[in-house]
Structure 1
Amino acid sequence: MRAETTYGRRALLVALVALSLIVTALPAQALQVAQAEQVPPVDPYAPAEPQAVCDPTPKPGVVGFAKLLLEAYPVSGWSGISRDCGVRGGSEHKEGRAFDWAVSVSNPQQKAAADDALATLLAPDEDGTPHALFRRFGLMYIIWNRQIFSAAQPEAGWRPYGCDPAASYDSCHVNHVHFSFSSAGAQMQTSWWSLAPEPAPPATLVERIAGLTPVDTAIDISQRAFPTPGAAARIYLAHAETAHEAMTAAVMAGASHGAVLLTAGGDELEATVDAEIRRLLGDQPEATITVVGGQDALPDTLVEPYRDRYVVDRITGDDRYASARAAARAMERAGQQRTAVLVGADALDEALPMIAVAAANDWPVLFTDRDDLHDDTRGFLVEAGVTSVHLAGSTDAIGRAVREQIAELDDVTVRRHGGEDAAKISVTVAERFFAIPSAYAVAQHDDTPTAAVAAAYAGERRHAPLLVTDGATLTDPVTAYVADTSSPDASGLVFGDRDTVHREVERQLRRVLRR
């Protein structure tokens, strides 16, 4: 290793993380330095490169930058890199060159994290070079809290950014920071990536996330997603045995950067669920608990104790189709999305991998019968002006007739993500949407409520695909995908107890990641 490179790595690390405490998470050898001979100069300000083609695969520089932020600020979240090209408007998201960092102005801890990170990125270096890290990463512009900073007008500093919160809450960027990269920055061709530390192997190569019951496992996932008390502003609550509602709740939680919890129902919540709700929401008076499902499974008595302290509402309908439509309407009002994921109502196992994608991209999930597009589903596609539909599963899950019915709608493109079985479908989805995973999540395809919660966490929080197993072993296509795409710092997440996902699955995943 060249001496100047090692020194530069240390210099940039110190500049990037002095305010964020990431240094404490790095191995000591990452901070060892030798005498510098030469450090590359700070890059010129990035040129303006608006989206020109459709290539939403996440680019390595964007993924690497996102991972740095998430590791430095655990209170924050992942709100996505890719955006489907069917969504209206131009965006670097459609070239995999933009990252939305999930932090909220209304959450004091998240706002402090965002302000800290942005101040660090825009600070001068030790030689007085302005906006040094912003330039070394190849950033074109940043949007946060109704303001924009751009490489095109750096001398102007932060400028007002026009938005209409009534039309789209997301447009004001008060619930996320938007980072857009030049092509060079996105492809790791700027000076940061010649100086950044080589990734260290994770402390835990494969971690099992499991409780005694699905309710306990959901709590375990919630505590990993929100390690800091009071860090969540919204909770979605579903019954542990109603798979469709659990899937809907998981996607809604991903879209709003909230938590999803499960309950066995009854007249009152489990003590462990109650404790997690209070830990997550703390003293936030505007925090919201959304019940996903009807009164029969989740009576009002479950959430009555919280009405004096938080906002409590419910997403439900006459059946699974109507409930999903109601959830999609709520998501559409918040995000103005024009993409939806369609799930075969009787083949949820084939749809689980797309739940990770939907949660990461804020796409609503709708249900359909195999051979006929349900009226509620059709109604939402039309009323929301959906232009892109992803079919989650094979023709056994969603028949060709349904695809033809969707194609007959005005200006709607349809793409199927299928395969011979659930495991192969999970690889297909992973290859299409997770070109550079930071982790690999594995769940049992028949353990639907747990797998749905796991998928949302994996996609939205960890930029990880959900790979499914029969519980006994990983298939050859799954292990081949992991072997072909894993980086030195990649890790594995296994969801479910050893009765659900056998220890051999852990062993297989660990062997592949060690190669």
Structure 2
Amino acid sequence: MTVAPPCHHHGPCGRRAARARLVLAAALLLLLTLPAAAHAWPAHYPAVAGNPANAGRIFQLPLEPSVYDPATRCSKRPKPGMTALVGWLESNVEGVSWGTYRCERWGKRSASLHAEGRAVDWHLDAASPADRREANRLIGLLLAPDKAGNPHALARRMGVEEIIWDCGYWGAGMEAHNRYSPCLTRTGKISRKVDKTTAHRDHIHIGLTLAGAAKRTSFWRAGPSY
């Protein structure tokens, strides 16, 4: 049997061990500086037990079609549906509101949903495992089918028309999410340089249709059963 010679700190194997430790430290440092992994949006969301979209008074009302209403201007007037949505989030979801209105215009008759008070930024941090789980739970609830198999049932009944979270984008009528374009490099990869807020890694953006913002969709019309 061959016995390996002892490894001295200043000998060849000692130097190899030191190099290995340096490589490991560099790899760990790289992992710490990389952005959080993009949200794993599934192609299809499964049904969720206790989905409010299945509640009797809500389910009996006609289900809204999937529509997207673009924003065109700045309007400070509070929207009753957005006020109701923030209240529902406060009662049912971990996190806190970072606000709904800010005047963001992109051109003539083109603006952010925030400009019309039809979007809320809900603070959850993708770097926190607990916050990530809560964000996944909320998105899964909004986009789950109801007991009749209708996709995105709660989102449609609330009037939710878009969700942005952790470099992923979902809009009404989309079967699956897209990568959020401000996060991407020219080659279509997730950029390491995009900041957390632009990437929506420190909040979920939830936007409402005109009917949802006016509190005229079935979820809100059904009353306090939700």
What is the CA–CA distance in structure 1 between the aligned matches of 2:149 and 2:104, rounded to whole Å?
A: 41
Instruction: Give the counterpart of 2:210 among 175, 183, 200.
Output: 183
Structure 1 counterpart of 2:128 = 107
State which of 132, 153, 172 in structure 2 corresponds to 1:151: 172
Distance in 1 (alpha carbons) for counterparts of 2:181 and 2:159 = 24
Partner of 1:80: 99
Judged with a 3 Å threshold, the aligned counterparts in structure 2 of structure 1 residues 133 and 113 are, in CA distance, closer, same or farther, namely same
Letter in 2 for 1:68: W
Q: Give the Cα separation in 2 of the matches to 1:179 and 1:86.
A: 18
Residue 87 (structure 1) shift: 9.2
Shift of 1:198: 6.5
Across the aligned residues of Structure 1 and Structure 2, the Cα RMSD in angstroms comes to: 2.9
Q: Which runs of 4+ in 1 moved over 6 A?
A: 86-89
Kept in 2, the 8 Å contact 1:146–1:174? The answer is yes
The residue aligned with 2:75 is 55
Instruction: Tell whether 2:221 aligns with 1:194.
Output: yes
Normalised TM-score (structure 1)? 0.30
Instruction: Write out aligned runs for 1:3-402 (5 A).
Output: 14-16=50-52, 39-46=60-67, 48-73=68-93, 75-85=94-104, 90-153=111-174, 155=175, 157-164=176-183, 166=193, 168-197=195-224
Structure 1 residue 163: Cα displacement: 2.0
Q: What's the offset of the Cα at 1:168? A: 4.4
Q: Which amino acid aligns with 1:125?
A: D
> For 2:102 and 2:115, how far apart are their aligned partners in 1?
5
Tell me by how many angstroms 1:84 deviates. Answer: 3.2
- AA aligned to 1:184 is A
CA separation in 2, counterparts of 1:58 and 1:94?
A: 11
State how far apart, in whole Å, the 1-side matches of 2:69 and 2:204 are.
19
Whole-angstrom CA distance in 2 between matches of 1:54 and 1:184: 17
> Which runs of 5 or more structure 1 residues have no equivalent in the other structure?
1-12, 19-30, 200-515
Contact between 2:167 and 2:180, CA under 8 Å: does it hold in 1?
yes
Are the structure 2 counterparts of residues 158 and 85 from structure 1 closer, same or farther at C-alpha, using a change threshold of 3 Å? closer
Q: Partner letter of residue 79 of structure 1?
A: W
**Do the aligned residues in 2 keep the contact of 1:163 with 1:172 (CA within 8 Å)?**
yes
Indicate if the aligned counterparts of 2:161 and 2:171 stay in contact, CA closer than 8 A: yes
| Counterpart residue type for residue 139 of structure 2 | L
Q: Is the 8 A contact 1:16 1:121 kept in 2?
A: no
Question: Does structure 2 conserve the Cα–Cα contact (< 8 Å) formed by 1:17 and 1:72?
Answer: no
1:70–1:123: structure 2 CA closer, same or farther, 3 Å change rule? same
TM-score, normalised relative to structure 2: 0.65
Task: Name the structure where helix makes up a greater proportion of residues.
Answer: 1
CA distance in 2, matches of 1:49, 1:42: 17
Structural mapping, 1:425-440, within 5 Å? none
Q: Any conservation in 2 of the 1:57–1:82 contact (CA below 8 Å)?
A: no
Q: Which has the higher contact order (CA 8 A, sep 6+)?
A: 2
For 2:146 and 2:137, the matched residues in 1 are separated by 16
Count matched residues: 167
Structure 2 CA distance for aligned equivalents of residues 174 and 101 of structure 1? 11
Unaligned runs of 5+ in 2: 1-48, 184-191
Counterpart secondary structure, 2:207: strand
